[in-house]
C-alpha cells in the first residue's frame, strides 16, 4: 500500500528512519485515505471512528499544542521555532486524532491503559485543553477489546461495497425479528451484501461479545446503528 500524499500533513513525524517500532497503515471508512499510524491500537481506533456515522472526517496528528499557552501549531517544528523567537519554554502535546463531529471537532488521545498508569499526567490534559476551548477525549484499550476490533476491521473492509436498495429492503424485512447469516444466505442474500449492510448501518448485530460468523444474528436497525457507535464520543 502507498500513503496518500494528498492527505493533510501530520503535526509530527510518525516514524523516523532506523526506528524499530513499526508504523501501521489503515484506510478508515470516513476518510477514504491511507493513514500511517504509530500503533495497532491507534489504527483500530481510526477504523472504528471511520465507521461511526457521527464522524464526518478524521485527521491523524492534526496539530501540536503548547499547553502553556493553549496555542496550536501546524507542526512541532513550528511550535519550537515560535518558542525560540519568543524565549518561551513550551509544553508540547500532539493529540493522536482530530474527529469532525456534528457539533464541532474533538481531539482524541489513544493510549494503552498500562502506559497511562506509567504516565498518568495525560489524564489532566482534557482539563488543560478545556480551559482553552478545546475538547479532548482519552480512549484506552478497554474501549477497543480484541473481538470488537476484529469485527470492526471486517466491516471496514466490507464498507467499500455499497448495498443495493432492493436487496437492502428485503434484508431489513427478513431481519425484522432477527435471523442468522446462514439462514439469510438460504433466503438468497449474499454474505457480501449482509456485511456491507452492517458496515453502512442498515442492519445491526452484536459486535462486542462474539466474532461475526455464520451463526451471528442480524437484526434490522431501528433508529441509530448503535453497533457502529461504541466509542465514547458523546452526543455530538
What confidence tens digit (pLDDT) does each residue in 6-29 have? 445 555 555 544 455 566 777 776
Last residue of a domain, one of 88, 113, 143: 143
Task: Confirm whether 5 is domain-assigned.
Answer: no
Average pLDDT over residues 106-128: 97
How high is the pLDDT of residue 223? 86
**201, containing H or E segment:** none
pLDDT at 58 > cutoff 60? yes
Asked if residue 215 is part of any domain, the answer here is: yes
Integer-rounded Cα Rg, in Å, for the chain is 20
My answer on whether 176 and 137 are in the same domain is: no
Q: What is the pLDDT of residues 29-55, one digit of tens each?
A: 655 677 888 899 999 999 999 999 999
pLDDT, mean of residues 212-229: 95
Q: Are residues 90 and 190 in the same domain?
A: no
Specify if 102 maps to a domain: yes
15 in a structural domain: no
Question: What's the pLDDT at 3?
Answer: 43
Task: Over range 60-83, report the average pLDDT.
Answer: 95
Based on the fold, state whether residues 134 and 171 are members of the same structural domain: no
Please name the residue that has the C-alpha cell 438460504.
Answer: 186
For residue 40, what pLDDT is reported?
Answer: 93
Claim to verify: residue 127 and residue 47 sit in the same structural domain: yes
Does one domain contain both 73 and 174? no
Per-residue pLDDT, averaged over 117-121, amounts to 96
Q: Read off the CATH number of the domain in which 35 is found.
A: 3.40.1350.10
* Residue 91: domain span: 24-143
On whether both 37 and 82 belong to a single domain, the answer is: yes
Q: How confident is the model at residue 5 (pLDDT cuts 50, 70, 90)?
A: very low
Confidence check: pLDDT of 217 > 60 = yes
* Residue pair 72/65 in contact by the 8 Å Cβ criterion: yes
In this structure, the answer to whether residues 36 and 119 fall within a common structural domain is yes
Dump pLDDT digits (tens) for 122-160: 999 999 999 999 999 999 999 999 999 999 999 999 998
The pLDDT assigned to 6 comes to: 44
pTM listed for this prediction: 0.85
Residue 139, in any domain of the structure: yes
Same domain flag for 31 and 124? yes
Please state the domain count of the chain: 2
What torsion do the CA atoms of 19, 2, 92, 121 make, to the nearest 10 degrees?
A: -70
Mean of per-residue pLDDT scores for the chain: 89
Which ranges constitute the DSSP H helices of the chain? 40-51, 76-86, 113-118, 125-131, 146-158, 165-174, 181-186, 191-199
pLDDT at 11: 55
Percentage of the chain modeled with pLDDT above 90: 76
Claim to verify: residue 135 and residue 73 sit in the same structural domain:
yes
Cα–Cα distance list, 91 to 72, 136, 147 (Å): 11, 16, 37
User: How confident is the model at residue 172, as a pLDDT?
Assistant: 95
Summarize pLDDT for 170-201 with one digit per residue, the tens.
Answer: 999 999 999 999 999 999 999 999 999 999 99
Task: Judge whether residue 165 has pLDDT over 50.
Answer: yes
- Does 2 map to a domain? no
Q: Are residues 44 and 134 in the same domain?
A: yes
Amino acid at each position: 500500500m502507498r500513503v496518500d500524499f494528498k492527505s493533510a500533513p501530520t503535526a509530527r513525524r510518525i516514524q523516523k528512519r532506523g526506528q524499530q517500532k513499526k508504523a501501521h497503515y489503515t484506510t478508515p471508512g470516513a476518510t477514504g485515505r491511507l493513514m500511517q499510524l504509530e500503533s495497532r491500537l491507534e489504527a483500530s481506533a481510526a477504523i472504528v471512528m471511520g465507521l461511526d456515522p457521527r464522524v464526518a472526517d478524521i485527521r491523524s496528528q492534526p496539530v501540536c499544542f503548547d499547553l502553556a499557552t493553549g496555542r496550536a501549531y501546524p507542526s512541532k517544528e513550528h511550535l519550537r521555532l515560535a518558542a525560540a523567537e519568543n524565549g518561551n519554554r513550551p509544553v508540547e502535546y500532539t493529540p493522536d486524532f482530530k474527529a469532525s463531529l456534528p457539533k464541532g471537532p474533538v481531539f482524541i488521545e489513544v493510549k494503552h491503559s498500562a502506559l497511562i498508569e506509567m504516565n498518568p499526567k495525560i489524564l489532566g490534559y482534557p482539563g488543560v485543553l478545556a480551559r482553552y476551548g478545546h475538547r479532548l477525549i482519552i480512549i484506552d484499550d478497554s474501549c477497543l477489546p480484541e473481538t470488537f476490533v476484529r469485527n470492526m476491521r471486517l466491516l471496514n473492509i466490507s464498507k467499500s461495497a455499497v448495498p443495493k436498495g432492493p436487496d437492502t429492503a428485503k434484508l431489513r424485512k427478513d431481519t425484522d425479528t432477527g435471523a442468522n447469516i446462514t439462514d439469510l444466505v438460504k433466503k438468497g442474500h449474499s454474505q457480501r451484501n449482509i456485511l456491507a449492510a452492517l458496515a453502512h448501518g442498515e442492519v445491526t448485530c452484536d459486535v462486542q461479545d462474539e466474532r461475526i460468523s455464520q451463526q451471528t444474528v442480524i437484526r434490522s436497525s431501528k433508529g441509530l446503528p448503535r453497533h457502529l457507535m461504541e466509542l465514547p464520543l458523546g452526543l455530538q
